[in-house]
Structure 1
Amino acid sequence: MESYATAGQVWAAGLIFARIGALLMVIPGVGEQSVPPRVRLGFALLFALMLYPVLAPSMPPVPGTVGSLAAQVIKEILIGLVIGTVLRLFLASLATAGEVVSLQTTLSIAQTANPGQAQPTATLATFLGLLGLVLIMTTDLHHMFISAMVRSYALFPVIKPLPVADSAQLAIRTVGDSFALGIQLAAPVLVFSLVFNIATGLVGRIMPQFPVFFVASPIMVLLGLSIFALSLGAVGLVWVDRYRQLADIFV
């Protein structure tokens, strides 16, 4: 390698590749399970080569022992996984909203293969998950991912230890916020379901001979999906705004 690059240059590029590669393995879009690992590693190598001129001055020298070398590589991989996982965890808000809407409209039994997961999920949850990826790409949120890669070296310097407690706190807060946002996004259907169920319960109480189940089920599906469709634009706008706020933490 000395004919092409010095040991320090190879070491610096390797550290950059370790963090960027781990991040791209789990980040939304490129990190989907439907994307072949070789493609993701190819993207990571390309990004590492592009970012090397910018980040090389902040890279430490080659450590003197194998143990120190392995510890720094593992730390860089963990930092990349933390950033990518936090950005991916917020996608669970759309999956939560889809699951809630499916339960309220009695469509939870309808399962569809989710390209982002290893098992099928509710059709509406799969739809909202794909919608989230489309919104990320069409609103240029994925440009913030590249900025987060560079900014991460200011937030998590290579020469400093990994802030485990802060990273865990950020992950816990992201999970809680994503679940709360999922319930908020499904609120129109939840309110309709509550009112509709109370109304059908009163009808069944007043007229015991009335076939409430056979009449209420198709109306529930029709009106529930109609309300979901009408609120879909607002759902997308609110989710993109909240996701941009999350990405601003790393940018």
Structure 2
Amino acid sequence: MSDAIITFLLIFCRISSFMVISPGFSLKQTPVLLKGLLSLSFSLSVFSVLPETIAMDNLYLLLFFIVKEVLVGLAIGFIVHLIFSGIEMAGQIIDFQVGFSMGSVFDPGVGIQGSNYGRLYYWLALSLFFVTDMHHVVIENLLHSFDVVPITHAVLKGTTVDGIIMLFVEVFQIAILLAAPVVLVALVTDCVLGIISRSVPQINVLMIGMPMKILISFFFMLLFLPNLVQSVSGVFPTIDRYMKEFIEALVR
């Protein structure tokens, strides 16, 4: 196998594994041919600017580097996936509070069981991901990773693990902050219903409570929608920051 083919194969492994897991590129409805063509075009662009090809005669060493490139691509894509999971988690917290979690259905777009507000938050974030050109930033960081982390070099140190732990903390913080306005409205609604049930025992609060919470949460969701769009857009720079920090941590 020639050195050029080996180099291109290693580049393709990192980029294609990123495409498999990263939101926006890994949708179930996206044709496999389109994903393959995107991975191939990005790989060709990286291969065309590499200063030299990689010479490798040992088959076992080649397999090791293939696995390494796949893991690096998956790790970079997993960072983007975690941020989107935090945004979707915010919707799931709201669903649990207003009672929509009982009506969760399978979402064929992402291939998981999703609830109403959870899917709303996810697809809103995905739309803003492309509208704000954040996908260009993500692709730029992926291609830049070949300059920072060469094909035959990557070291996982303690700083990388600490960064992933901080990213998990950031994900939960994002989920709580995005869900807080509607959750507070639902909690106030529960308090009002509790006061009504104590003041007027003849009213069946269990019968009117669930549809009332759903209607009130839907009304306030529409009311908070402009702020929600702004808040979700403000989360996206976190993706850029953590991608750069993770890529740089691999060679420290």
Which TM class, normalised by the smaller chain length?
0.7 to 0.9
Select which of 177, 181, 190 maps to 1:197.
190
Q: In 2, distance between residues paired with 1:195 and 1:177?
A: 27
Question: Greater helix share, 1 or 2?
Answer: 2
**1:30 and 2:3 aligned:** no
Note if contact 1:27-1:84 (Cα within 8 Å) is conserved in structure 2: yes
Aligned partner of 1:57 in structure 2 is 51
| TM superposition shift of 1:46 | 1.5
Note if contact 1:93-1:182 (Cα within 8 Å) is conserved in structure 2: yes
Q: In 2, distance between residues paired with 1:201 and 1:14?
A: 64
| TM superposition shift of 1:64 | 3.0
Equivalent position SS for 1:88? helix
Note if contact 2:105-2:115 (Cα within 8 Å) is conserved in structure 1: yes
**1:83 and 2:81 aligned:** no
**1:241 and 2:234 aligned:** yes
Aligned partner of 1:97 in structure 2 is 90
Gap change, CA 1:197 and 1:139, over 3 Å in 2: same
Alignment of 1:3-42 (within 5 A): 7-42=2-37
AA aligned to 2:112 is Q
| TM superposition shift of 1:30 | 1.3
Aligned partner of 1:46 in structure 2 is 41
Gap change, CA 1:168 and 1:114, over 3 Å in 2: farther
| TM superposition shift of 1:124 | 1.6
Aligned partner of 1:156 in structure 2 is 149
CA RMSD of aligned residues (A): 2.1
Structure 2 unaligned segments of length 5 or more: list them.
Answer: 245-252
Note if contact 1:75-1:162 (Cα within 8 Å) is conserved in structure 2: no
Equivalent position SS for 1:68? helix
Alignment of 1:70-149 (within 5 A): 70-149=63-142
TM-score relative to the length of structure 1: 0.88
Q: How many residues align?
A: 244
Structure 1 unaligned segments of length 5 or more: list them.
Answer: 2-6
User: Is 70-79 or 114-123 further displaced after alignment?
Assistant: 114-123
- % identity of equivalent residues: 24
Aligned partner of 1:228 in structure 2 is 221
CA displacement, residues 96-123 of structure 1 (integer Å, 9 cap, x when unaligned) = 1111111222222233432343233112
TM-score relative to the length of structure 2: 0.87
Q: In 2, distance between residues paired with 1:236 and 1:112?
A: 24
Q: In 1, distance between residues paired with 2:159 and 2:108?
A: 31
| TM superposition shift of 1:132 | 1.2
Equivalent position SS for 1:120? strand
Q: In 1, distance between residues paired with 2:242 and 2:91?
A: 26
CA displacement, residues 170-201 of structure 1 (integer Å, 9 cap, x when unaligned) = 33332331222111111111111222212221
Q: In 2, distance between residues paired with 1:164 and 1:153?
A: 19
Gap change, CA 1:120 and 1:245, over 3 Å in 2: closer
